[in-house]
Each structure stands twice: as structure tokens, then as C-alpha cells.
Structure 1
Amino acid sequence: MRFPGRKPRLQLPRQFYGVWAAVTVSSLGDGMRQVALPLLTADLTDDARLVALVAFAGQLPWLLVSLLSGVLADRLERRRVLWLVDMARAATMAGVALLTVFDALSIPLLAAIAFLLGCGHTLYSGSWAGLVPSLVAPESLTKANARLQASWLIAGSLLGAPVGAVLYEITPALPLGIDTLSFMASAGFILLMTGGRPAGSGEAPSERRSLREDALNGLGWLWRHALLRRVCAMSALVNLVVAGLMSVLVLYARHTLELGSSGYALLVSVFAVGGIAGVPLASYLGIRLGPVRVLWLGSLIMGGICAGLGLAGSATAAVLFVACYGAVSLVWNVTAATLRQSQVPAGLLGRVSMTFQMVNVGSGALGVLLTGLVYYGIGPRASFLAGAILLCLASVFLIGSRVEVPVDEPAGVPAG
């Protein structure tokens, strides 16, 4: 029975639930790995510069192969790419677990492993960028993205991180081995998926451009789209701060807050709890305020929270600030992803999304290096206060921006 004046609930297609399952099981392993690898690094060194170096190695592939990944995503069958990358990452993590058992890890080796996993993540993201919009109707994108973000937080941060920390105390190889299995399970779910619009720009093989021309086409489209260009610049500055602070969070938790390894996992879990609270807010605020206002206010609020972390005098205060940051961060990420998906033509989605990601993660890599230097030279609290200033400045990029209704257009023709 439908009540007068009530909007019908937006339904998600059956194929989406295969994606959802893959994200959930993979996120569980990701949460364990994201706790285990920083702890492995911190066990080998207390030098913030070396800790930041390992984190930087994981970000570097975004600068090197992002554009190529976007081109391949628009040319190849996306699900096949996702399956192959998941299996390759499973093999890599199995090797890491084996090296851990034999106590054969070092900082250079960890940096090399982080680089390989970063390459896999970059290639995976290129195909992932166009998968959800190919399965879900435009009016359901916010709902779908919010569910995926929530699953990533619950499985990865709320469950994977604390369980990974506990298993790490037993033996570091345990969380790494489970991450290996999670990659294999995710590959299985992707392999079983059916439906969705295929990748490709719609060009005939004889008309298809070179890899370089296709990559530049996506870069040029993003540059000419006024709103997404500004969102990209804003997101880059936000990511510079967040990636930098996350790279030294394990040291901040251990030495400044005196929480130890389990305390670091606690902060990651609290971030997830806050993110879950932000799930219902994403759709509500997007409708009431519009995406531009949500992004603008979000950057200001994140700046205030970051300043609070820098000034926090107790672990309790830090936990509360991290929880609030998790809620605002989820709303911000869902809004930015949905806005990008709604504005970019399907045939360009892989290239434009990966150009977007290349800029953002490239700035994150720079943030990791800068934060490591500030943390080492001035102190941990200075890193958070400097980040707060940059997050507040990021809101300037969206002053005067507005969302334009996209029109159907062939690949290569810019909107806006």
C-alpha cells in the first residue's frame, strides 16, 4: 500500500548486492592489513620519516599509473580486471605473510610491498569507478554509495582493525593471511556477477585513439568541467591533510596519547563508528543542502575537528574528535563520489575518475612526506594544527559554484 505524498523507496538492483558482498569481505581483510602493516613498520623503526616513507611508497602508484588505469577501465571488461587484480593482490599478501613468519621484513622491503599493493589498488579503482554507475540508476547512487561506505567502515575499521590488532599480538602473520583469503573471496563474488552496462566509450575499434590520447582526453574533460575541477582541487587539499595525518597516527596514538598498539586500533574503530552515524545523514543533507554546500561546510567542520585533535589533552577527547571526523568524512566522501558519478558521461567515467584520483592521491603522497617532516621537526600537535588551517582553506574552492544538470553527450565533449 502506498500512502499519499510518500515517495516510493529507491530499489537497488540484484547485481549491486554482489558488489556489496565483495566490498564487505575485502574490507574485512583491508582493515586487518591497514593495522598490521603500520605496526610492522613501527616495530622496525620509530623514525617518523621512515614510517612516512613506507606510506608514501603505497601512494606513489597513483602518480605513475592512474591515467593508464582509467584508460584500461574504459576499454576492458571491468569485472575481469577486478578479478585479476584481486587474485594478484592475494598472491602478494600470501608472500608478505610468509616473509613475516621467517622474520625477513625490512623497511625497504615493506616500502616495495606497499608500492606493489598500491599498483594493484590503482588498477582496481579504475575499473571500480565505473562499475557502480553501470549497475545502479542515477537516483539511487547516493543510497548505493552510502551503503558501500558503511560496509567498508563496519567490516574494515570496526571489525577488521581491532580483530587485526588482536591477531597481530598473537602473531603478525595471522591478519596478513586472513587478508589473503579476503582478496580471494572478493574475486569470487566479482566473478559470479552478471548484468550491468559494459565498459567502453562506444567508439569503433578503428576509431579508437592511442592510450596517450585517451588519457589526455579524460584529463582535458575534467579540466574543462568548472564544478568538478573545483571539487578536485578541494578534494586534493583535503586528502593532503588526511593522508598525512593518517600516516603518523600510529605514532601519535602510541607516544602522544600513550594508547599503545590496541589504542591505535581503537582510534580506527571509533572512526568507523562515527562513519556509521553519518550514513543516514549523507542522503538527507544532500537533498536539504545540495552537494556543493555539503562539501563546503564539511571541509570547515573537518578543519575544526582536526584542530581539536591537535589540542586534545586526553585520550578521551581524541576519541570523541575522531568519531566526529568519521561522520563528517563519510558524508563528504559519499557526496563527492555521487556528484562525480552524476556529472561524468559513462564512456569517460574511468578516465575522469582516475584523473581525479591521481590528483587527489598525488596530493596525499605529498601530504605524507610533509607531515612526516613536520612531525619529526616540530612535533605531533603541530601537524594537526597545520592540517586544520589547510582544511578550512579548502572551502574557498567552492565559493560561487553550482551544480549543472548534465546532458547526454559523446565521449570527449566537455560539460560546463
Structure 2
Amino acid sequence: MKSSRGFTLLWLAATTSALGDGVRWIALPLLAVRVSTDPGTVALVTAAEQAPWLLFGLFAGVLADRYDRRRVIWWTDLGRAALAAGFAVAVVCGAATIALIAAVGFLLTCGETVSAAATGGLVPALVPAPHRPAANGRLQAGVLVTDTLIGSPLGAVLFTVAAGLPFAVDAVTFLAAAVLIALVPGRYRPVEPATRRVRSEIAEGVRFLWSHRLLRLLCGLAAVNAVVFTGLVAVLVLYATEVMHLSPTGYGLLVATFAVGGIGGGLAAGRLASRLGTRACLVGAVTVYALCAAGLGVAGNVLVAGAAIAVFGAASAVSGAVTASVRQTAVPDRLLGRVTGAFRLVNFGAGPLGAVGAGALAQVAGLRAPFLAAAGITVVMAIVTARYLTPASIRVSQSM
């Protein structure tokens, strides 16, 4: 390992900034509702927060492949700290309009895409290949703790105290993350940094992803998982309240089990990858998705549902950590940001298809149908993964 201290500082920076993301994620729509109660207007804020992953992700990869990745994260966090601090002042002064809220959400998520691309490229520089599943799993687990389990409820509490307080806390977390990442020793500019026109550089990353058989398979697998996950999330609130008759608090606790399972899966990813291997982890994760979706669709019991969602979260974390590790090993350093950006673009683009499809299916066949359909889809994907994710293809990627 180049620097265990370096990875620890990266982990601390990532989890600290994720705390601010979680606080802002819950506070921004609450602020929008205070300004306007029109559903379409409020939805615009959420759309603005999500749009950068589709519109800016590829360009973020170019930035991560052009410059020192540690400095990219540092500048990004400093910029987000200044933006969040200025927005907190605007909220306190009563100057927050829907247009301003949406613009701030968009710009802060743009920064998140850049930081994520640079972080993904920094991990292989700090962690040797055999330890990357554990490192990526730790990053996922840490982000789930600070973003989901701590940040979101904290954001709601802070907003009730003062509307500008969550954004001030957001600014502080970004500033702290910038200080932590500045302490990472060394320089981390790609060996052959991208220097051509942006369009050409993006095209090069997309071509590499498409031409690499293993990465193309993993990207397709991740896209199907995004369709399934987003679809189930879209109908889960109705399933929880109408089928299981849960209160809003009960629904919130049910959703939280995904994060709890994800933390366990993230922490166990390295151990599972070393003992079972890449192929077994990925095929096993997709098989677990199928079992969990089927269990949710058949049982309708809150305890079974909570257990299924927790196990789904654990499998998702293991799959994510192992996939990231394969990508970090298979992709040349000079292309890692762009290939990762293209990978994420496919995933974020596929997710809304699941939400639309699950909603339409639930209208026609009932609320259990999307869960059973998801089980069928993931069974097919498990078979495809087992057939084409061969030990030989994994060895080839690990030898690059």
C-alpha cells in the first residue's frame, strides 16, 4: 500500500463530505416546500439535484483524468464550501427562491460528480489490487453511515431549529473534507494525463468501456440492478403503507434497514472477495437480489420485508465494492475517470426506467407485481452473469 495514512485521510474526507450531502439532501426539499407548495415546482429542485449525474458526469471524468486527483477533490470541496456558506446566508436573509434553491442543488451535485470521479481514481493509487474490495467497501459503508443514517435525520432536525443551519453545517463539512484531503501525501496526476479536446477524451473513455468485454458486462449488470432497485423504491412506499399498513415512521425505519445492511456488506466485502472470489461475489449478489425481491413480493410481512431489504442492501454493497475494484484494476490510470463517468452515466440513466416500469406494472397488476417481476429479471441476470463472467476474463482484467 502506497500510504495507509493516505487512504485513511481519503476515507475521512469522503465520509465527512457525505455527512454534509445527507444534511443537504433532506433540507433542500424542505426549504423548497417552505417557499412553494406547488408539486411541480418542488419536484424541479429534486430534478436539478439529480441532473448533473447525467449531464456532467462524463466531463467530471475528464477533469479527474487531466489533473492531480487529490487537488481536484480539494478544489471541489473548497468551492462547495463557499457555495454552501453563501447559500446559508441567503436563506437567513430570506432571499432563497426556487430558482436559487434549484441552482445551488445543481451546482453542489456537479461538485459531487467531480469529487466521486477523482476519488475513484485515487483509490488504486493508494491501495494495492488485493485490498481494493475492502477499501471500496469501507468507503461505501462510511458514506452510508454519515450520509443516510446520520446526515438525513440530522438535516431534518437542524432545519426545524433554523432553515439556514443545515447549509451552514454543509459548508463546514466540505471545508473539513478539504483540509483532510490536503493532508494526503504525494501527487496523483495520471501518468498520461488527458490533454486533447474534451469531446475526444470523453469518446476515448466510452470506447474503452464498450470494447472491454468484462467491463461491458459489469456495466450492463449494474444498469439492470439500477432499474430493479429504482423500480422497487418507487413503489415501496405504497407497498409499505397499503399492504403492510405501516405508519410514516415505520416506513422510514423500513428504508433504513437498507443502509444497515449496506454497512455490513461494505465492511464484509473485502473478506468475501478474498475468500469467494470476484465471480462468486457478483453472481451471488444478483441471486440474493432475486431472493429478496421475491420475499418482499410474497410475504407482505414487516419483519420479512425488513430482513429482505437489509440483505438486499448488503448484497448491493458487496457488488458495488467488487465491481469498483475490478474497474480500478482493468482500466488504465489515464482513462479511469472517464470510464467511471461513462459507467455511472449508464447506471443513472437506467434507473428512471425502473421507476416508470414499476409504477405502470403496479397499476395494472397490483403492488406485489413489481417485486415478483424484479425477482424474475434478476434471476435471468444471474444466469447471464454466471455464463459470461468467466474466471479467464477476470484473470485477464487483473493482469492489465
TM-score higher than 0.5: yes
Of 160, 185, 188, 1:194 maps to: 185
Of 269, 272, 279, 2:256 maps to: 269
Of 326, 337, 343, 1:356 maps to: 343
TM-score norm. by structure 1 comes to 0.80
CA distance in 1, matches of 2:91, 2:376: 40
Give the corresponding residue for 1:332: 319
2:391 equivalent to 1:405: no
Of 199, 209, 232, 1:222 maps to: 209
Report if the CA contact (8 A) 2:326-2:397 is conserved: no
Of 122, 131, 135, 2:126 maps to: 135
2:106 equivalent to 1:115: yes
Q: Using a 3 Å threshold, how does the CA distance of structure 1 residues 375 and 137 change in structure 2: closer, same or farther? A: same
How far apart are residue 307 of structure 1 and its match?
Answer: 3.7
Q: 1:354-386 CA deviation, whole Å, 9 max, x = no partner?
A: 111111112124445555666788776555444
Report if the CA contact (8 A) 1:90-1:184 is conserved: yes
Report if the CA contact (8 A) 2:141-2:264 is conserved: no
CA distance in 1, matches of 2:135, 2:158: 32
Give the corresponding residue for 1:303: 290
CA distance in 2, matches of 1:54, 1:17: 34
Q: Using a 3 Å threshold, how does the CA distance of structure 1 residues 36 and 290 change in structure 2: closer, same or farther? A: same
2:309 equivalent to 1:318: no
**How many residue pairs are counted as aligned between the two chains?**
393
CA distance in 2, matches of 1:375, 1:91: 44
Q: Using a 3 Å threshold, how does the CA distance of structure 1 residues 248 and 59 change in structure 2: closer, same or farther? A: farther
SS at match of 1:195: coil
- Write the letter of the residue equivalent to 1:162: P
- Write the letter of the residue equivalent to 2:23: M
How far apart are residue 327 of structure 1 and its match?
Answer: 1.4
Pairwise mapping of residues 222-301 of structure 1 onto structure 2 (< 5 A)? Answer: 222-246=209-233, 257-260=245-248, 262-263=249-250, 265-301=252-288
Q: Using a 3 Å threshold, how does the CA distance of structure 1 residues 397 and 219 change in structure 2: closer, same or farther? A: farther
CA distance in 1, matches of 2:246, 2:268: 33
How far apart are residue 60 of structure 1 and its match?
Answer: 2.5
Q: Using a 3 Å threshold, how does the CA distance of structure 1 residues 310 and 91 change in structure 2: closer, same or farther? A: farther
How far apart are residue 36 of structure 1 and its match?
Answer: 3.4
How far apart are residue 37 of structure 1 and its match?
Answer: 4.2
Report if the CA contact (8 A) 1:272-1:326 is conserved: yes
Report if the CA contact (8 A) 2:24-2:167 is conserved: yes
CA distance in 2, matches of 1:46, 1:391: 37
Report if the CA contact (8 A) 1:158-1:270 is conserved: no
2:149 equivalent to 1:158: yes
2:18 equivalent to 1:27: yes
User: Structure 1: which 5+ runs fail to align?
Assistant: 1-9, 410-416
Report if the CA contact (8 A) 2:214-2:389 is conserved: yes
User: Structure 2: which 5+ runs fail to align?
Assistant: none
Question: Which deviates further from its counterpart, 166-175 or 209-218?
Answer: 166-175
Report if the CA contact (8 A) 1:135-1:197 is conserved: no
Q: Using a 3 Å threshold, how does the CA distance of structure 1 residues 313 and 268 change in structure 2: closer, same or farther? A: closer
Q: Using a 3 Å threshold, how does the CA distance of structure 1 residues 359 and 229 change in structure 2: closer, same or farther? A: same
Q: Using a 3 Å threshold, how does the CA distance of structure 1 residues 360 and 127 change in structure 2: closer, same or farther? A: same
How far apart are residue 130 of structure 1 and its match?
Answer: 0.6
Give the corresponding residue for 2:139: 148
Query: Higher helix proportion, which one?
Result: 2
How far apart are residue 138 of structure 1 and its match?
Answer: 1.6
How far apart are residue 93 of structure 1 and its match?
Answer: 3.5
CA distance in 2, matches of 1:390, 1:96: 43
Report if the CA contact (8 A) 1:78-1:127 is conserved: yes
Q: Provide the identity percentage.
A: 41
CA distance in 2, matches of 1:298, 1:31: 26
Give the corresponding residue for 2:334: 347
Q: Using a 3 Å threshold, how does the CA distance of structure 1 residues 248 and 361 change in structure 2: closer, same or farther? A: same
Report if the CA contact (8 A) 2:65-2:193 is conserved: no
- Write the letter of the residue equivalent to 1:128: T
Of 148, 151, 173, 1:182 maps to: 173
CA distance in 2, matches of 1:30, 1:21: 14
CA distance in 1, matches of 2:71, 2:112: 15
Report if the CA contact (8 A) 1:11-1:140 is conserved: no
Report if the CA contact (8 A) 1:52-1:368 is conserved: no
Report if the CA contact (8 A) 1:282-1:331 is conserved: yes
Q: 1:263-296 CA deviation, whole Å, 9 max, x = no partner?
A: 4553453322212322453123323332123212
